[in-house]
Amino acid sequence: MNRVPLELAPLGLGCWAFGGGFWYDQERQDSIKTIHAAIRSGIRHFDTAQGYGKGTSEQITGQQLRRFSHTVPRDSFTLATKLFLPSKSDELESLVRRSLQRLCTPYIDILYIHWPDSSKPLAPYLNELDRIRKKGLFRMLGVSNFTEALLVQAIKTTEIAYCQMPVSLVWMKSLRTLGPLCNENQIKIVGYSPLALGLLSARYRTMDDFKIEDLRRKLFPFQQPYHHDYLLLLDRLIEVAKRYGTSAALVALHWARRQPVETILTGARTKEQLYSVLKSDELFIDNDSLSSIEDAADILEKQIPEEEDNLFFHRW
Ligand X SMILES: NC(=O)c1ccc[n+]([C@@H]2O[C@H](COP(=O)([O-])OP(=O)(O)OC[C@H]3O[C@@H](n4cnc5c(N)ncnc54)[C@H](OP(=O)(O)O)[C@@H]3O)[C@@H](O)[C@H]2O)c1
How many chain residues touch ligand X (CB under 6 A)? Answer: 26
Query: Which member of 8, 143, 189, 195 binds ligand X (CB under 6 A)?
Result: 195
- Residue range at the interface with ligand X (CB under 6 A); choices 12-20, 67-75, 87-95, 219-227: 12-20
Burial of 239 (0-12, 13-18, 19+ CB in 10 A): middle
Whether residue 253 contacts residue 195, with contact meaning beta carbons closer than 8 Å, is answered with yes
What are residue 47's DSSP bridge partners?
Answer: 14, 80
Site for ligand X in 60-79 (CB under 6 A): none
Nearer to ligand X, 89 or 201 (CB): 201
Nearer to ligand X, 134 or 315 (CB): 315
Between CA 306 and CA 308 the distance in angstroms is 6
Nearer to ligand X, 24 or 135 (CB): 24
Site for ligand X in 110-129 (CB under 6 A): 114
What are residue 110's DSSP bridge partners?
Answer: 80, 140
**Residue 297, helix vs strand vs coil:** helix
Which of 205, 123, 148, 168 lies closest to 297, judged by CA? 168
Per-residue contact flags (x/-) with ligand X for residues 140 to 169, judged by CB under 6 A: ----xx------------------x-----
Sequence-separated (6 or more) residues with CB below 8 Å from residue 179: 189, 260
Interface with ligand X, residue 11, by CB under 6 A: no
Which of 166, 143, 200, 177 lies closest to 311, judged by CA? 166
Query: Which member of 111, 182, 277, 290 binds ligand X (CB under 6 A)?
Result: 277
Interface with ligand X, residue 194, by CB under 6 A: yes
Between CA 142 and CA 162 the distance in angstroms is 4
Interface with ligand X, residue 293, by CB under 6 A: no
Interface with ligand X, residue 236, by CB under 6 A: no
Give the shortest CB-70-to-ligand X separation in angstroms. Answer: 26
Phi, psi of 151 (to 5 degrees): -65, -40
Nearer to ligand X, 149 or 215 (CB): 215
Kindly list the residues in this chain that would bind ligand X in the complex (CB under 6 A): 14-17, 47, 114, 144-145, 164, 192-198, 201, 249, 265-269, 273, 276-277
